[in-house]
Homo-oligomer: A and B are copies of this chain.
Amino acid sequence: MSSSSGGTQAVDRAAALLDLVVRADEPVRFTDLSDETGLARSTTSRLLAALERTDLVERDGSGGYVAGPLFALHAAVHDPWPQVARVARPVLETVAERTGETVHLGVPRGAGVLHVGQVESAYLLSARDWNQVDVPAHCSSLGKVLYAYDLLPIPSGRLERRTDHTVPTGDALQRELATIRRQRYATTIDELETGLSAIAAPVEGRDGVMCAIGVSGPTARLQDRVADFGRLLVQQAGELSALLGLSRSTQPRESPTEEGVA
């Protein structure tokens, strides 16, 4: 294992240090790095100096190591959502594999839902590619989740009526959101289009819920498995949340009441 590298010991070790620093959500102390990697302190010092010289890591005021300018540049230049989608891909694929249905990753944009990631269903009859389609958020399970966690402005008054089952008003939507928050997943059954259903669950980042994952497909296949798929989505969303929240140390964090920097 540790030997199968093949002629790049120093680079591998430096990469291990860098990995620890970037994955941590708070500055990492020299000794922790030295201990975790098992490297001699002198080696650790030399490698970290090299990483700092090349802008891959940086030291904060108190001497801890954090991701360096090169990471800041990358993050500044690239839209975050495609990056989230890349991180989420394995989770979406797991859900697709276990449900057989089309899986989506939805994020808030303006007053609607933007689909930034998708894995196709194996079935012939399945939800189409939603990436280009403009779907009212109140007819979408992803949209309902985003509403429920204050990521979209909740509309009032009468809502666009797509089918007989569409949530009719802002008030009715409000009432449903309480249920969604309680069971941690949202559903839309024949609400967007007759015969089309979807289920979705919230994904947390370090500042609370940030996006949602969900499945969609024919009501005929989904209606008897809502609770099943709901549980699966909640669990997989948790996996993804763990990745995106990084090591939240020890914070269960129940309430999403997070107030922006303002």
Contacts and interface: CB of A to CB of B under 8 A. Distances in A.
A70 interface: yes
A72 interface: yes
A206 B114 contact: no
A49 B8 contact: yes
A86 interface: yes
Contact of A11 (B11, B22, B260): B11
Contact of A19 (B70, B72, B78, B205): B70
B7 A70 contact: no
B15 A56 contact: yes
A124 interface: no
Nearest to A262: B132
Given A11-B14, A114-B261, A74 B77 contact: no
Interface residues of A, number: 55
A12 B50 contact: yes
Interface string A228-262: 00000000000000011110000000000000111
Contacts of A69: 86-87
A226 interface: no
A18 B22 CA distance: 15
Interface string A33-58: 00000000000001101110111100
A5 interface: yes
B15 A54 contact: yes
A74 B76 contact: no
B56 A23 contact: no
Contacts of A11: 10-11, 14, 47, 50-51, 54
A83 to B, nearest CB: 4
A161 to B, nearest CB: 24
